[in-house]
Amino acid sequence: MRVLFSSIPASGSAVRDTASSMSPSKEKLEALRIHRGHARSRALPTALILLVVFLAALGAGATWWFRRPSVAVVRTIVVQEMSARGDRTLLNASGYVVARRESTVSSKVTGKVVEVLIEEGMRVEAGQVLARTDASNLEKSLELSQAQLESARSAMLETKANLNQAERELRRVSQLVSKHAASQSELDRAETDVMSQQARMERQAADVAVSEREVAVWQQQVDDTIVRAPFAGVVTTKDAQPGEMISPISAGGGFTRTGICTIVDMSSLEIEVDVGETYINRVESGQSVEATLDSYPDHRFPAKVIAMIPTADRQKATVKVRVGFERLDPRILPQMSVKVAFQSSAEDAPTVRRSVTVPKAAVARHDGRDVVWIVRDGRAERRAVTVGRVDGDQVELAAGVSGGDRVVVEGPKDLMDGIRVAEAK
């Protein structure tokens, strides 16, 4: 029994040693244990952020979906395919735009200007009143001649009445003579009186005609004080003001004007070019010409040779060539400088190129390329194009669009490929 009791403490000591040896492992395990409450507290803000972002994106998408246009309204044009000959430039020259009909309008008589009815840039018609000069003296003379005419007509009416009385007296005396109740001398006096009244009547009729001519002369002089436009055109300069003296001739020094204004017929504009004698053999009547105004270098105006003036300027060794525009443009103004390129004939350059022209607003940039929008089967379709020559507000497309395509020239900025579109009326 003593032995057993002594062994028990030994065994208990061993158990304590074992427990003490295992305690470090438990500490390590405790360190590796996941504390769920702490992990949950860190994951919660991240989840909330993701949820808020998701809900915001969902709301934005829903807003776009409900507010998106069901049909985009656009304005289109149908492009036309054009063909042009590959003309070759034979000669380049420069000149000026001139008007074949240009006039400095003046009055027919010298007088003081009392009214000017035009301004620069105004369009006038043929016969329109431009200005008036003082006609007070002429109007008085016209009134005098009209009064003299009325007096001559009144005198002729008096003579006509006397003639009728003399004719009645002649008939009465003739009857008395036939009845031997009057003498032959009384009959002769009656006949003489009739002849005298007839002669006076003829003279007074001539006086009336003279008075009518005199009235017409004074009326014409009064009309000459009114300055009228000789043809339809545009007023380019205004040279006189009310109160100034004007004369059809250079008289009175610098105090007298010789014109009221200058009128240009814009439909008669053409180009005058001086071509050197050495190169005049490259120019012929009817030859195609491309004209480029210095004011609009990006636009070319088609023209053709009207005529070559059959004489040369020996001081400049040039020949003047008249070039006419095939189609006039409001941008063309008199005295503008212009460069012309004389083209070869169609036989010398028979090559033909085809292209389409669209407004510059129809071409846009997308991913570094030029594109246009076309309408096909009621939907928008994006087309990549090759831009050629730019001519003012027009762009020539060498590839990408064919004749007959409906190209969008005006529409919403957020136009998408495949969206349904409606064309504006």
Which tens digit of pLDDT belongs to each residue from 359-372? 777 777 777 777 77
**Can you list the pairs that 88-91 forms with residues at least 24 positions away whose Cβ atoms lie under 8 Å?**
88/343, 88/344, 88/348, 88/349, 89/290, 89/341, 89/342, 89/343, 89/344, 90/282, 90/342, 90/343, 90/344, 91/275, 91/279, 91/282, 91/283, 91/341, 91/342
Fold of 72-84+352-423: 2.40.420
pLDDT tens digits, residue range 92-128? 899 999 999 999 998 888 889 999 999 999 999 999 9
Topology agreement, domain 72-84+352-423 and domain 86-100+265-343:
no
pLDDT band per the 50, 70, 90 thresholds, residue 351: low
Domain layout of the chain by residue ranges: 1-30, 34-67, 72-84+352-423, 86-100+265-343, 107-131+230-259, 136-224
Helices (H) and strands (E) in the chain, counts: 4, 25
Residue 185 has pLDDT above 90, yes or no: no
Higher pLDDT, 17 or 300: 300
Token pair belonging to 41: 């507290």
Residue listed under structure tokens 């497309």: 397
Sign of dihedral through CA atoms 12, 13, 14, 17?
Answer: positive
76-90, 136-150, 225-239, 259-273: least confident range: 76-90
C-alpha triplet 398, 401, 402: angle, nearest 5°: 100
Higher pLDDT, 68 or 156: 156
Overall pTM > 0.95: no
Fold of 86-100+265-343: Elongation Factor Tu (Ef-tu); domain 3 (2.40.30)
If one looks up domain 136-224 in CATH, what number appears?
Answer: 1.20.58
Residue 311 has pLDDT above 70, yes or no: yes
Which of these, 202, 181, 184, 203, lies nearest to 192 by C-alpha position?
Answer: 184
pLDDT band per the 50, 70, 90 thresholds, residue 10: very low
How much is the pLDDT for 114? 93
**In whole angstroms, what is the distance from residue 356 CA to residue 374 CA?**
14
82-86, 230-234, 286-290, 292-296: least confident range: 82-86
How much is the pLDDT for 234? 94
Q: What's the chain's average pLDDT?
A: 79
Within a 10 A sphere around the Cβ of 236, how many other Cβ atoms? 19
